[in-house]
C-alpha cells in the first residue's frame, strides 16, 4: 500500500506516537525546514492523567481526547498517517507499517508504555487496566454491569464479589481511582441502586511497597494514606497480588479477596519496536539512549518519553516515566534537530523537576514542589485541577472538562453512568489466541494453579 507521502528535498522526521512527547516534538518542529510525519494507531491524542475520570463516569471520553489532524491544522510541514508500526530497519532508514514502508532521515520513537503484569497470566487475562480510552470505557462498563448483576443475584457471596473493587498499585493512578470510587460509593451509587446495601461495598488498594505514592515525599505519602483511610479505603501495603481466578484475588497461597472488579495499576513497561538492536532494549522494554536521546549505537534514531531509558550518574535507573520528562525531552530534541540542520553541536538533556502531585478526592490532593515544599488539602486540590486543565489540548476540551468538574463538585454527582459498550471477558483460549497474534508467536500453554482450600475471606 502506498502511504502517499509527498516527495521532498527536506529532511523527513518520522515520529512514532502522538502522546505527550510526540505531540510536543511535532509542534516544536513547525518552523524548521523539515517534513514532519506522525504515525499513530489512533487518530487522537489521549490525555492519560484523566482516564480514571472517564472510567468512573466523571468525564466523557471526548473531553480528554483531541483529533490529531485538528491539533496540527495549519502546520504546513505536518503529515499524519493512521497505522500500526510493525518494525524498524535502521540499516535502510525504513519503517515498516501495515499501510506500507516509510523512509526517514530521522526517526523518533515516542511509543509510550504498556501495562506490565509481571508474568501473572491469570491477572493479565481477567484484570482491567487503564492505559487507553477503550480501557477506561471497558472499566466503566464492567463496574456498572456488575452492579446490575448484583441486584439480580440471590447469593450473598456472589453479590459481595460483584460490588467489591480491588485496585492493585499504589501510585498516582491507583490512588486517584480509589478516591474516585469512594466518592461514587458515598454520593452516587446509593441513588442509582437503592436495592443494594452500598455500605457493604468494599474498596481495596493493594501495594507491594510500604507506602502509597512511592516517588513522592514522605509528607505527601502520609497525607495521602490518611485521606484514603478517612474515605474508607482498605489499604494492603507490603502485599503482592498472586493470581486472580473464580472471582477471588489471592494475595497469598490461601488468603484472598472476593471481587469481580480487579483494576491493575501496578506497573508499566516501555513499548520498544521490533528491529532495534537487542542490546539497547532493556528487560522492561525501554530503549537505551544517550544524553541527546539518541538510541545507543544508532546515528539518526531517537527515543523520548516513557520508552526512552536515559541512564546518568544522577539517574542510574533512568528518568521516571512521567509526562513532564517526556515533554522536556521533546522540547530538547526539537532544539537539537534544529542545531543539526545548522551544523551545530547538540546539547545534552537536563531534566528540570517542577514538582509532582496526586489527587485523592474532593478537596483532597497532595503536591510536592522543588525546594522541599509540600502542601495538600483544598489548595493542593485547586493546584491539581488548574495544572491538568491547562495541560489539556484544545479550548473545547478545557471548557467541557471545567463545566463537568463544576457540576460534579456542586451536585456530588457523576452523570455519565452509561453502559454504551458492554464489556465481555474473553475465555482463556481466546486470550491465548490474542496474545499469540500480538507477539506473532505461539504462547506457552497455561496451566491453572491447583485451587487453594477455602480460607477466611476478606470482604465478605
In whole angstroms, give the CA distance from residue 53 to residue 163.
19
Q: Are residues 125 and 241 in the same domain?
A: yes
In the three-class reduction of DSSP (H, G, I as helix; E, B as strand; rest coil), residue 237 is classed as: strand
Q: Which pLDDT does position 99 carry in this prediction?
A: 94
List the CATH number of the domain containing 337. Answer: 3.50.50.60
Q: What is the DSSP string of 123-170?
A: HHHH-B--SSHHHHHHHHHHHHHHHHHHHH---HHHHHHHH-EEEE--
Determine the Cα–Cα distance for residues 368 and 219; give it in Å rounded to an integer: 9
The Cα–Cα gap between 165 and 329 comes to 37
- pLDDT, position 425: 62
The answer to the question of residue 294 being in a domain is yes
Residue 148 and residue 176 in one domain: yes
**Is residue 437 one of the residues assigned to a domain?**
yes
DSSP label at residue 370: T
- 213 and 280 assigned to the same domain: no
Question: Quick check: is 215 in a domain?
Answer: yes
For the chain, the domain total comes to: 2
> Which domain, by its residues, includes 312?
12-41+83-115+269-341
With beta carbons less than 8 A apart as the criterion, state whether 334 and 25 touch.
yes
Decide: 85 and 95 in contact? Cβ < 8 Å. Answer: yes
Containing H/E element for 286?
A: none
CA distances to 11, 121, 205, 212, 213 from 175, in Å: 44, 24, 8, 8, 8
Distance CA 291, CA 413 (A): 47
For strand 165-168 and strand 262-264, is the pairing parallel, antiparallel, or unpaired?
Answer: parallel
Q: Contact at 8 Å (CB) between 367 and 231?
A: no
Q: Which residues pair with 169 in a beta bridge?
A: none
Domain harbouring 216, CATH code: 3.50.50.100
Domain boundary among 296, 318, 341: 341
Domain boundary among 296, 311, 341: 341
Q: Is residue 183 part of a domain?
A: yes
Same structural domain for residues 330 and 284? yes
278 shares its domain with 165: no
Element (H, E) at 379: helix 377-391
* Shared-domain flag, residues 142 and 223: yes
Output the tens digit of pLDDT for each of the chain's 460 residues. 468 899 989 999 999 999 999 999 999 999 999 999 999 999 999 999 999 999 988 888 888 999 999 999 999 999 999 999 999 999 999 999 999 999 999 999 999 999 999 989 999 999 999 999 999 999 999 999 999 999 999 999 999 999 999 999 999 999 999 999 999 999 889 989 999 999 999 999 999 999 999 889 999 999 999 999 999 999 999 999 999 998 999 999 899 999 999 999 998 999 999 999 999 999 889 999 999 999 999 999 999 999 999 999 888 888 989 999 999 999 999 999 999 999 999 999 999 998 999 999 999 999 999 988 999 999 999 999 999 988 888 777 888 888 878 877 667 665 567 777 666 665 434 444 444 444 443 333 333 344 444 444 444 3
Co-location of 324 and 313 in the same domain: yes
Q: Is the dihedral of CA 176, 178, 180, 182 positive or negative?
A: negative
Distances (CA, A) of 335 to 28, 278, 305: 8, 29, 16
Give dist(CA 414, CA 192) in Å, integer: 11
- C-alpha span between 192 and 81 (Å, rounded): 43
Q: Are residues 276 and 252 in the same domain?
A: no
Alpha-carbon dihedral 165, 149, 446, 136, rounded to 10 degrees: -50
Instruction: Convert the pLDDT of each residue in 226-276 to its tens digit.
Output: 999 999 999 999 999 999 998 999 999 899 999 999 999 998 999 999 999
For residue 187, being part of any structural domain is answered with yes
Q: Are residues 273 and 262 in the same domain?
A: no
Q: Using CA atoms, how far apart are residues 304 and 27, in angstroms rounded to an integer?
A: 15
Helix (H) or strand (E) holding 268: strand 268-270
Burial 85-101 (b: 16+ CB within 10 A, else e): beebebeebbbbbeeee
Which triple of cell numbers denotes residue 289? 539512549
Give residue 415's pLDDT. 58
Pairing, β 203-207 against β 165-168: parallel
3-state DSSP assignment of residue 344: coil
Select from 319, 341, 363 the last residue of a domain: 341
Phi then psi for residue 281, to 5 deg, are: -100, 115
- Can you tell me which residue has the cell 527536506? 10
Residues 128 and 190 in one domain: yes
Please indicate, yes or no, if residue 390 is contained in any of the structural domains. no
Query: What was the pLDDT predicted at 447?
Result: 38
Residues 6+ apart with CB under 8 A from 93: 103, 104, 105, 107, 300
In a domain, residue 398? The reply is no
**Short-list 333, 385, 304, CA closest to 58:** 385
**In terms of domains, do 214 and 313 share one?**
no
| HSE-up of residue 157 (Cα within 13 Å, Cβ side) | 8
**Does residue 164 fall inside a structural domain?**
yes
Q: Do 300 and 274 share a structural domain?
A: yes
Amino acid at each position: 500500500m502506498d502511504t502517499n507521502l509527498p516527495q521532498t528535498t527536506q529532511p523527513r522526521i518520522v515520529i512514532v506516537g502522538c502522546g505527550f512527547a510526540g505531540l510536543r516534538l511535532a509542534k516544536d518542529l513547525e518552523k524548521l525546514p523539515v517534513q514532519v510525519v506522525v504515525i499513530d494507531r489512533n487518530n487522537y491524542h489521549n490525555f492519560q492523567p484523566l482516564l480514571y475520570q472517564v472510567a468512573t463516569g466523571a468525564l466523557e471520553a471526548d473531553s480528554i481526547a483531541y483529533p490529531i489532524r485538528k491539533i496540527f491544522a495549519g502546520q504546513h510541514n505536518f503529515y499524519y498517517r493512521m497505522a500500526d508500526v510493525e518494525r524498524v530497519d535502521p540499516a535502510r532508514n525504513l519503517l515498516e507499517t501495515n499501510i506500507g514502508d516509510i523512509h526517514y532521515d530521522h526517526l523518533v520513537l515516542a511509543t509510550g508504555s504498556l501495562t506490565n503484569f509481571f508474568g501473572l497470566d491469570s491477572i493479565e487475562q481477567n484484570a482491567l487496566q487503564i492505559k487507553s480510552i477503550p480501557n477506561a470505557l471497558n472499566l466503566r462498563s464492567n463496574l456498572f454491569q456488575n452492579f446490575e448483576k448484583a441486584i439480580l443475584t440471590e447469593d450473598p457471596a456472589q453479590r459481595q464479589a460483584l460490588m467489591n473493587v480491588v485496585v492493585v498499585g499504589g501510585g498516582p493512578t491507583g490512588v486517584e481511582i480509589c478516591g474516585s470510587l469512594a466518592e461514587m460509593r458515598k454520593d452516587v451509587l446509593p441513588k442509582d441502586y437503592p436495592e443494594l446495601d452500598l455500605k457493604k461495598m468494599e474498596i481495596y488498594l493493594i501495594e507491594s511497597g510500604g507506602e502509597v505514592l512511592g516517588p513522592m515525599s514522605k509528607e505527601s505519602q502520609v497525607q495521602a494514606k490518611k485521606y484514603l483511610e478517612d474515605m474508607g479505603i482498605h489499604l494492603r501495603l507490603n502485599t503482592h497480588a498472586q493470581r486472580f481466578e473464580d472471582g477471588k484475588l489471592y494475595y497469598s497461597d490461601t488468603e484472598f479477596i472476593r471481587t469481580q472488579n480487579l483494576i491493575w495499576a501496578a506497573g508499566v513497561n516501555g513499548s520498544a519496536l521490533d528491529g532495534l538492536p537487542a542490546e539497547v532494549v532493556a528487560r522492561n522494554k525501554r530503549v537505551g539512549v544517550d544524553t541527546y536521546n539518541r538510541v545507543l549505537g544508532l546515528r539518526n534514531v531517537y527515543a523520548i518519553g516513557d520508552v526512552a531509558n536515559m541512564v546518568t550518574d544522577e539517574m542510574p535507573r533512568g528518568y521516571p516515566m512521567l509526562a513532564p520528562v517526556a515533554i522536556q525531552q521533546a522540547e530538547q530534541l526539537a532544539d537539537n534537530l534544529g542545531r543539526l540542520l545548522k551544523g551545530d553541536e547538540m546539547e545534552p538533556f537536563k531534566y528540570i523537576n517542577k514538582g509532582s502531585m496526586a489527587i485523592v478526592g474532593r478537596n483532597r490532593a497532595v503536591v510536592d514542589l522543588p525546594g522541599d515544599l509540600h502542601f495538600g488539602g483544598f489548595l493542593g486540590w485547586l493546584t491539581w485541577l488548574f495544572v491538568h486543565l491547562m495541560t489539556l489540548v484544545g479550548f473545547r476540551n478545557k471548557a467541557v472538562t471545567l463545566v463537568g468538574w463544576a457540576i460534579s463538585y456542586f451536585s456530588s454527582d457523576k452523570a455519565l453512568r452509561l453502559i454504551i459498550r458492554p464489556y465481555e471477558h474473553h475465555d482463556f483460549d481466546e486470550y491465548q489466541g490474542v496474545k499469540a497474534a500480538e507477539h506473532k508467536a505461539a504462547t506457552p500453554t497455561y496451566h491453572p494453579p491447583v485451587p487453594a482450600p477455602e480460607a477466611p475471606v476478606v470482604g465478605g
